[in-house]
Structure formats: structure tokens, C-alpha cells
Amino acid sequence: MDTSASSSLSSHVSTQAHALMTAAGYDNAHAVDELLADLLTADETTTPWPSQISDDHTPVEFSLALDHGQRPTVRILAEALAARPSLAANLHAAQHLLERWASRYSLAMGQYQQVADLFAGAPPDSQFAVWFSVVLRRRNVPRIKVYLNPQCRGTRHSVALVVTAMRRLGLGGAYPALQAAAIQPGGRYSFLALDLHHGPRSRIKVYASHAATATDADAARAAAVVPGVDTDEVTTFCRLAAGDTLGSATSRPLVSSYTFVDGDSCHPSGYSLYVPIRSHVTDDRQARDRAIALARRYGHDAGLVDEAITAIARRDLAAGVGLIPHIAVRLGDRAPGLTVYLSSEAYRVSPPRPRTAFPPMSGPTRPERSGSSPEPR
């Protein structure tokens, strides 16, 4: 069965993972193989699953995180799929994988166990049950993070679900300010993410997606509840990443995330903003240029950003849009960190938009994508 679609997905993804890790200076690129083998077990030939991880439904997304004082980090966001995927079966597969990883990597499961029952629903209209983020490291075992879905019992219950989870995690005091800042009209909680490693730097993150029409001012308002965050920088980042097309109803949403570490019971200590840059460029050459400009702005290795993009790309950058789905900035008590997300595009490339898609200033509304694949949300 070596010619099956599932083994071609694995080989596509692992070739990219090796290239990206090598570009980022890892000398243990094959350390990712076992993780990918654990994650990519579904039989994609008979039952492809419309994973919402990426626009073309590849159940994996790469990212390169740049932080001052640390070496660049390669991460993989992935959905564990059952051999015959369905939401319920995938939830089961994810729980099973988590048990194996918990013993193999000595994961800290306490916080997850405090809230897991809240997120065990899998109604048919939900987008996903559990996602994983794997942070690859050079010498040590990978760090694993689990993403839970606040929408898993329907949008009506999502706020209550997040409040309950935050209370159980000792963050009840931080909730009111967070809710007011993060959930503006049209916004919603999108993920609750838990680091599964031991130690004081293990984090809890709450993610909120803004309304599609949200602008840089809304992002700045969302960021303002986090002490020490420069809200002008939030605005600038939005403009540099998205150009002047933010706020159009057909864009994908800006996403804010709030980071809590041990001892943060009343205030988050970090804020990140994720700009869906693919909604704001005609093609990936333009997205690459913006990513490089942002890396330079924050004093990160712009050449590495370029190499990372080349490591993942299987096509000319001008020949599609969405290879760089998001670009994110991390703000708080340290110098800004930058993360560039990279799509595997194992299944499909979205064609570039016509240059006229972004007329200067406010033009007519445009279709978000020219392809026929279903929208992720």
C-alpha cells in the first residue's frame, strides 16, 4: 500500500518537516518521524477528513517561531485522525494518542484532566475535537500542547465553557477583563490551549477570533488588558501584515490570544495577535515580503524566514496564495516574538488573486477565494 494517498501525505509532510528543521539549524530532523507517524495514521484514500487546520484540509500546519535570546523553533499543529475519521472517532483517537504520549514524554496531564470533561462533546456541527501542537527541540523531547474547542457544545455554550474552564484552572479572577476585551460583537472563543510540560513556564492560552470586520483598533483594544503590551505596536503590526484591507467582511478573522503562566491568576502575562495574512495579499510573494519586513522590524533573522518559506514551498510563490496563512506577533514583558505559519498544501494550492482584488482604499467587496474548496469557517 505504499502508493496510497495516506503514505503520500506522510512523505509530503515529512519531507517538508525535515527541510524546515534543517533550515532552522536542527541537526536531528529525523526526530520528527515518530511524531508524524503517530499523527498521520488515517486512511486518507477512503475517508478524507475536512480538517480545519488548513484551507486545503491538510491536517498539519508548520510554523517557525522567532524569539530574542532563543534559537528559532519549528512547530507542527496537527489533528490526530481516526482510521475512519469522524468527530467522535477523532476525539477518541486524540485521547488515545495523548495517553501514549503522556507516558512516552512524561507529560504534565493535571491541567488537562481538570477540564477534559468539559470539552468531550463532539456535536456534528463542531469543527474539531482536539488539535495538538508539537514544539520540536534540538536535544530534548518535544513539547506538546493540546488545543481544545470552546465551540464543541455549540456557540451558545462557549462562553460558559471558557469561564468554567478558567475557574477550574485557577484563572477565574482574570476572566471578566478578558471577556470584555476579547469578545467584542461578532467575536468568539476559538481555542483553549494547554502546555503539557512540567515547570513554571508551562502556559495556558485562551484564543478569541474577532469579527471578520474587526480592525487594528479592535485588536489594540483586545491587547490593552494585558499589562505591558504596547498597543501602538499591535496597530502597526496589523497594518504591516494586512496592508490597508483589514476590516473587510470577507476576510478571515484576526485572532487574539492571552497567555497565562504560573501565578497569573488575575492578568494574562502575554498577548499574541494572529493576522490571517492570506486574506490580505494577492499571492505568497507579497506575503513573504511582508513577513521578511516584519522579521527585520523586530530584529529577527529575515534570511531564515526566507529559507523556511523555501523549505516548505513546492511551487513558485507568485503562483498561489495561502502558503503563509497567518503571521503572529507575541507581546508582553519581552521584545516582540514573531511566528510565521506555513501551510503544507498537500492537497491543494489556492490560486493567486487578481491584482485588482485590492484596489487602493475602499474598493468593491471581493470574493475571499477563487477556488472551489469549502471555506474552513
Query: What's the closest the beta carbon of residue 293 comes to ligand TRP, in angstroms?
Result: 20
Q: Which CB atom, from 118 or from 324, has the smaller least distance to ligand TRP?
A: 324
Nearer of residues 77 and 223 to ligand TRP, judged by Cβ:
77
- Residues in contact with ligand TRP by CB under 6 A are 52-54, 61, 77, 252, 255, 274, 325-326, 341, 376
The DSSP code sequence of 72-113 is: -EEEEEE----SS--HHHHHHHHHHHHHHHHHHTT---HHHH
Q: Minimum Å distance from CB 256 to ligand TRP? A: 10
β-sheet bridge partners, residue 272: 257, 330
Instruction: Tell the smallest beta-carbon distance from residue 313 to ligand TRP (Å).
Output: 18
Do 205 and 192 touch, CB atoms closer than 8 A?
A: yes
What is the C-alpha to C-alpha distance for residues 328 and 219, in angstroms, rounded to an integer? 12
Rounded to a whole number, what is the largest CA-CA distance in the chain? 55
CA pair distance 287, 191, nearest whole angstrom: 25
Q: Which is nearer to ligand TRP, 29 or 53 (CB)?
A: 53
**Shorter beta-carbon distance to ligand TRP: residue 79 or 283:** 79
Question: Is the Cβ of residue 117 or residue 206 nearer to ligand TRP in the bound state?
Answer: 206
126: left (phi over 0), alpha (psi -120 to 50) or beta: beta
Judged by beta carbon, residue 2 or residue 375, the one nearer ligand TRP is 375
CB of 72 to ligand TRP, least distance (A): 18
Burial class of residue 52, CB neighbours in 10 A (0-12, 13-18, 19+): middle
Q: Smallest distance, Å, CB 273 to ligand TRP?
A: 10
Q: How far is the CB of 341 from ligand TRP (least distance, A)?
A: 6
CB of 252 to ligand TRP, least distance (A): 6
Q: State the residue number with the nearest CB to ligand TRP.
A: 274
| Nearest-angstrom CA–CA distance, 176 and 188 | 15
Amino acid 295 reads A
Q: Which is nearer to ligand TRP, 65 or 196 (CB)?
A: 65
Q: What is the DSSP letter of 351?
A: P
Q: What is the rounded radius of gyration, in angstroms, for the C-alpha atoms of the chain?
A: 19
Considering the complex, state which of residue 263 and residue 346 has its C-beta at the smaller distance from ligand TRP: 346
User: Do 190 and 183 contact (CB within 8 A), yes or no?
Assistant: no
Q: Which of 210, 299, 280 is nearest to 290 (CA)?
A: 280
CB of 138 to ligand TRP, least distance (A): 24
For residue 219, what is its C-alpha cell? 485588536
